[in-house]
Homo-oligomer: A and B are copies of this chain.
Amino acid sequence: MATIKDVAKLAGVSVSTASVALRGKGPVSEATRRRVIEAARALDYQPNAIARSLVTRRTRTVGLLLSDLTDPYFHEIAKGVEAVLSRAGYALILADTDRSPEKELRAYEIFRSQQVAGMILAGSGTEDEAHFEQLEKRDVPIVTLGRHRSGLPCVAVDNVQAAKTAAQHLIETGCRRIGLIAGPPGLLAAEERREGYLAALAEHGLSPDPRWMLVGDFTPAGGYRAAMELFTARGLDRHDRPDGLVAGNDQMAIGALKALRELGIRVPEEIAVVGIGGIPTGEYVEPPLTTVALPLKTMGEAAAQMLLCRIERGGGSLPEQHEEHIWLETTLLVRSSTRARSAR
């Protein structure tokens, strides 16, 4: 690999002149600038970001921490993050915690040692965000996605409202006995969505039967198991059964749909199902899934953008100028897993 020294030598200038010329900042005669650029091209010179970072004390890398690379929730988010970052010339260091504290710690250490300019924390993570908040204090800006309780800057959606919208849609289309497959306890999004579900029911004077409330793990398999249990293991007779079901996320809704098909329970006629998330797959299952769509790509872009702002503003651990929380809107996507409005 050619170094700036090689470039300088070939161009017949000093290293510092080469440095200045290459970056276009500072005073250089047009002639030498040209010579240096030319030399750089001839040598296929690529600046060594490592060396540069060491002296400038800032890198152009950001760490993205997420809890499961195979969870569709993260795919568009990651895509959005990557797009914004790479356009800005930043490198994205990705770490998957697999929801394991050890892996999270390892990721944290890698990020630190790599001197990331900032980090994006997506998904649950450990309850214990202590290390991260500490980092924030040391001038490593952090933006979280969905962890709005953490005291860290955050891009999020109103999960309570999202679940409320889901349940309301069910109510408006005629459901009265509405069940829930909640996400894993302890996960903020799951708790909030449960809350929204309860609130919507309460607002309409509907009381949720505890037998209709299940817990899944945000995976399709979890949704499948929950729905199976709901309809086979809970001793519900024909009129005790729910006629509507809110799933804590699309993944579980999709699993539930499969269980219902296997049980010969018609959707939406016998039970309407609504998910939360808006992942692309929802369109391709049977019936196509009605869902409260989260602006996933936008969430990723916004988080990256916000982080970039904070990084480039510099030393921004106490910024008042910009909002610390961005709330994005969700949208109800009505497909066929719920009844048409007119069927009310």
A binding-site residues for B, Cβ under 8 Å:
1, 46-51, 53-54, 59, 61, 68-70, 75-76, 78-79, 82-83, 86, 89, 91-96, 98, 103, 106-107, 109-110, 112-115, 138, 220, 254-255, 257-258, 261, 280-281, 283-286, 288
**Does A96 lie within 8 Å of B79, measured CB to CB?**
yes
**Does B78 lie within 8 Å of A69, measured CB to CB?**
yes
A261 and B336 CA atoms in complex are apart in Å by 13
A255 and B96 CA atoms in complex are apart in Å by 29
Other A-B pairs, 13, CB within 8 Å; known A68-B79, A70-B76, A83-B98: A46-B109, A61-B93, A70-B79, A70-B280, A78-B94, A82-B94, A83-B96, A86-B103, A89-B110, A91-B95, A255-B284, A258-B288, A285-B285
**Does B49 lie within 8 Å of A115, measured CB to CB?**
yes
Partner of A51, one of B48, B54, B82, B93: B54
**Does B69 lie within 8 Å of A75, measured CB to CB?**
yes
Return the chain B residue nearest A258 by Cβ.
B284
**Does B86 lie within 8 Å of A95, measured CB to CB?**
yes
A257 and B285 CA atoms in complex are apart in Å by 9
**Across the interface, which residues of B come within 8 angstroms of A261, CB to CB?**
286
Partner of A86, one of B53, B96, B113, B138: B96
Instruction: List 11 interface pairs A-B (beta carbons < 8 Å), by A numbering.
Output: A50-B53, A69-B79, A78-B94, A83-B96, A91-B95, A91-B114, A92-B94, A93-B93, A257-B284, A285-B286, A286-B286
Return the chain B residue nearest A46 by Cβ.
B112
Contact A50/B257 with A70-B76, A75-B70, A91-B93 known, Cβ cut-off 8 Å:
no
**Across the interface, which residues of B come within 8 angstroms of A110, CB to CB?**
86, 89, 91
A78 and B69 CA atoms in complex are apart in Å by 7
**Across the interface, which residues of B come within 8 angstroms of A68, CB to CB?**
79
Return the chain B residue nearest A87 by Cβ.
B106
**Does A113 lie within 8 Å of B82, measured CB to CB?**
no
The 8 closest A-B pairs by CB, nearest first: A286-B286, A49-B113, A69-B79, A94-B94, A46-B112, A70-B75, A82-B96, A254-B284
| Min CB–CB distance A89 → chain B (angstroms) | 7
**Across the interface, which residues of B come within 8 angstroms of A280, CB to CB?**
70, 220
**Across the interface, which residues of B come within 8 angstroms of A76, CB to CB?**
70
- A50, A54, A286: most-surrounded residue (chain B CB, <10 A): A50
A309 and B110 CA atoms in complex are apart in Å by 20
A107 and B85 CA atoms in complex are apart in Å by 11
A264 and B204 CA atoms in complex are apart in Å by 39
A254 and B288 CA atoms in complex are apart in Å by 12
